[in-house]
Homo-oligomer: A and B are copies of this chain.
């Protein structure tokens, strides 16, 4: 089975659990304030928008790979992981000023329309905070206990620390030109950290051997890097049809994806002038984006970034092979990693 088949299958289970969770939350909220009920209805809709539950499925399949099966406790944890994933997206959309998330309005945008942008932004700040504590609460009340639970909570705390540091550094990158090393300082705290959390959470709660936790931690980082580099390439090179929203957002906001950092390093004087001219512009036109794409290709930066992503993908597969995780789970991760690599082939 490919990762997508597995993902669709488990997404149904997880979504049902998420719905049940919000049902209870909404019944409680309705008793004290109608507006809190409304915010939780909106949060539920935001979390349950059509999409792959990649984060929570990583937890679920790692758990299954060691525990041998799926139970209610790990499904509770999956709810926590989805809440965690979405609290990050919520503050991310807010700070980036993104208006759309997965085919719907971004969270602040939902509430901006209720009153005004100031109100929407305020609600999003506080509801992002709420979503994070909901994820902690869900994991604290998942049914797991003792040392494994303690480590799971520590993981979620450490990960949120790292993810928010990566956000601060990423914001700084809009105002400077980082080198490759500095990009890795940021990226090691972004998708690499997120995959580390979701994968290790499942492994720890299933009682995986310590040696496997170390190997899985490294594998998760490699998956994260491979994914991040690919994800950024998509943002620059996909068509709007492929991407589901207008491409070029990163470039437009002055962010510094790895392929752009490579381009700045590899460019000759003429290309450098073109690239820097576009970076300095703020909001860019479709023409600017096309010029930028050509420059990134011409310098060899796209090729170099793809190779870097593939290097991490290959490493991740080797590491996963070394673990004692069950075959179905190994296949899931291997086929997901292959998908990342295939996606890279779209852009030549």
Contacts and interface: CB of A to CB of B under 8 A. Distances in A.
A169 B129 CA distance: 14
A7 interface: no
A234 interface: no
Given A35-B169, A126-B91, A168-B127, A133 B119 contact: no
Contacts of A157: 133, 136-137, 140
Interface of A: 32-33, 35-36, 39, 91, 94-95, 97, 115, 118-119, 121-123, 125-130, 132-134, 136-137, 140, 150, 153-154, 157-158, 160-161, 164-165, 167-169, 171-172, 174-175, 182, 185
Nearest to A88: B129
25 contacts: A32-B185, A33-B169, A33-B185, A35-B168, A91-B126, A91-B129, A95-B122, A95-B126, A119-B174, A119-B175, A122-B167, A122-B168, A123-B168, A123-B171, A125-B128, A126-B164, A126-B165, A126-B168, A127-B164, A127-B168, A129-B164, A130-B161, A130-B168, A133-B160, A137-B161
Nearest to A129: B164
B95 A167 contact: no
Contacts of A171: 119, 122-123, 126
A168 B39 CA distance: 9
A153 B185 CA distance: 29
Contacts of A134: 161
Contacts of A91: 125-126, 129
A100 B96 CA distance: 25
